[in-house]
Amino acid sequence: MKIAIIGTGYVGLVTGVSLALLGHKVICVGRNKNKIQKINEGRAPFYEPGLDKLLKKTILEKSLQATDDFRKALLNADIIIIAVGTPTIEGNIDLSAIKIAARQIGEELKHNKKYQVVVVKSTVVPTTTQKIIKPILEEYSGKKIGTFGLCMSPEFLREGNAVEDATNPDRIVIGQFDKRSGQQFAKVYNKVSCPKVIVNLETAEITKYTANSLLATLISFSNEIARVCEKTKGVDVLDVWRGVHLDSRLSPRINNKIITPGIISYLFSGCGYGGSCFPKDTKALAAYAKKIGVKTELINSVIDINQNQPKRMIAILKKTLGNIKNRKISILGLTFKSNSDDLRESPAITIIKLLLEEGARVFCHDPIIIDKNDKEELKGLPIILVKNIEDALRDAHGAFLVTAWEEYKKLAPDIFRKYMKNPIVIDGRRIYSKEIFRQSGITYEGIGLGEAL
Ligand code: NAD
């Protein structure tokens, strides 16, 4: 099939590559000429493991190309997928980019003779596709829905694992305006054997928020438990989770082997969730619910716990170090998770801002973030971004482990002892052994670690 995708960000490009690999002819539509050129040269404009290789393959095979020419991309498309950003502004979803994209699509539908299905893949609050996108498409095309189709199909890929998630999805949710729209869109996935959930537009929209809010809830629950442990002498939240995870309903046994399902990774305490989805989607769901008269007390608490979690890191440091004014503090890890270059809503950014407010000198390291000027979130922050871990740690009074990159997991206590004055390590992801670090003379503290008895 011929597929046009509006948006060349994480979702647009990864979806484009995965659909091209399924045998479709894909054109990704972007706005930035440099980015488009890069994609057409087989280089992804952001870091995602495995993406460059597959992008190159699809470009060479001519199954994928990028353009800024809307008309060319949409003219013969069977399916037009919208994958533009839907951030939040003051807690509410910002639909400005998707409204513009819908208008641009409508203007093209007007000229096109064939039956085309528009698919909303961006995350949007319930009723957006029906009440906002559909009227815009009808107005600008001058056509009634039915002469074109409409679906809402949320994306469940995880950054850092996006290529695998998109090429090998666990489920595909298709919200259809009518049967004809759904049937044409479902053909895109004929070769994919995973379950397909066919629902109406609103159900598809709310499914995405439910999935993300569930995972965010598990994380905030885990962080609330960590706070209880921190105030209870002799308790380490890691031991608590070991005891909880082994419940066979969480970790089933198959042939006497314990299986660790992916959900377990959300039942760990840390310095909070970030990224382009959980923070904005929980807030957008709460705002939507409020608008329709539903109180979301649980989701509100999930958001609140998460926003306060970076403050816990500062509190732990101050308890150990005292005044942090003019002290050198190093941050290991800036991205919101490992294997991604995404800094959107990363806990590291909040931690840095809190440290700067207290007058600390902040030295940062991240394996993938090399230039401060490449990232909007870092521009204007008076931090020093260094290229190697040693420079971040040298003469530092305290070090925060914020992102669980493999490179950091391998660090032995020696490197902290060698470069820091009286090494204090605050482990925001609990990746280090408390025993080994403490025995080697490091003041080791972390999320969920109560005082010794
Ligand atoms: P992104 O910001 O990385 O990419 C969006 C892209 O759309 C940008 O490159 C932007 O320039 C482009 N764009 C905006 N308006 C355009 C237009 N009119 N024409 C052409 N291009 C246009 O965003 P993303 O992370 O890919 O997310 C896209 C959507 O998917 C969001 O709604 C998000 O919530 C959802 N989503 C994201 C993820 C994720 O992990 N990133 C996962 C699932 C769902």
pLDDT of residue 91: 85
pLDDT of residue 453: 79
Listed residues 171, 194, 217: the one ending a domain: 194
Indicate if ligand 1 lies below 6 Å from the C-beta of 274: no
Q: Give the Cβ contact number of residue 85 at 10 Å.
A: 18
Give me 55's structure tokens.
């992008």
Within a domain: 452: no
pLDDT of residue 116: 98
Residues 273 and 407 in one domain: yes
DSSP 279-301: HHHHHHHHHHHHHTT---HHHHH
Indicate if ligand 1 lies below 6 Å from the C-beta of 7: yes
User: What does the angle CA 213 – CA 218 – CA 223 come to, to the nearest 5 degrees?
Assistant: 120
Residues 276 and 181 in one domain: no
Per-10-residue mean pLDDT, the chain, length 453:
97 97 97 96 95 97 97 96 95 95 98 96 98 98 98 96 92 98 98 97 98 98 98 97 97 95 97 96 97 98 98 96 96 97 97 98 97 92 97 98 98 97 96 97 96 81
Residues 126 and 268 in one domain: no
Residues 190 and 242 in one domain: no
Burial of 376 (0-12, 13-18, 19+ CB in 10 A): exposed
Indicate if ligand 1 lies below 6 Å from the C-beta of 31: yes
pLDDT of residue 451: 85
CA dihedral 417, 432, 353, 348 (to 10 degrees): 130
Listed residues 147, 165, 194: the one ending a domain: 194
Residues 190 and 133 in one domain: yes
Residues 105 and 20 in one domain: yes
Within a domain: 213: no
In a mutational test of the pocket of ligand 1, which residue from 152, 273, 276 has the highest number of ligand atoms less than 8 Å from its CB? Answer: 276
Q: Which residues are catalytic?
A: 277
Residues 418 and 279 in one domain: yes
Residues 140 and 247 in one domain: no
pLDDT of residue 408: 98
Number of domains in the chain: 2
- The pTM (predicted TM-score) of the whole model is 0.96
Residue among 275, 49, 9 at smallest CA distance from 165:
49
Within a domain: 225: no
Within a domain: 221: no
Indicate if ligand 1 lies below 6 Å from the C-beta of 12: yes
pLDDT of residue 421: 84
Three-state SS across 14-60? HHHHHHHHCCCEEEEECCCHHHHHHHHCCCCCCCCCCHHHHHHHHHH
pLDDT of residue 394: 98
Within a domain: 226: no
Residues 188 and 273 in one domain: no
CA of 36 to the centre of ligand 1 (A): 15
Listed residues 194, 218, 246: the one ending a domain: 194
Q: Give the CATH number, domain containing residue 279.
A: 3.40.50.720
Determine which residue's CA is closest to atom 22 belonging to ligand 1. 7
pLDDT of residue 360: 98
Residues 302 and 400 in one domain: yes
Give the Å distances, CA to CA, from 448 to 240, 277, 300, 426, 434: 10, 25, 22, 11, 12
Residues 181 and 265 in one domain: no
In a mutational test of the pocket of ligand 1, which residue from 34, 155, 285, 346 has the highest number of ligand atoms less than 8 Å from its CB? Answer: 155
Q: For the chain, what is the total number of helices (H) and then of strands (E)?
A: 18, 18
* Residue 300 structural domain: 232-446
In a mutational test of the pocket of ligand 1, which residue from 6, 8, 11 has the highest number of ligand atoms less than 8 Å from its CB? Answer: 11
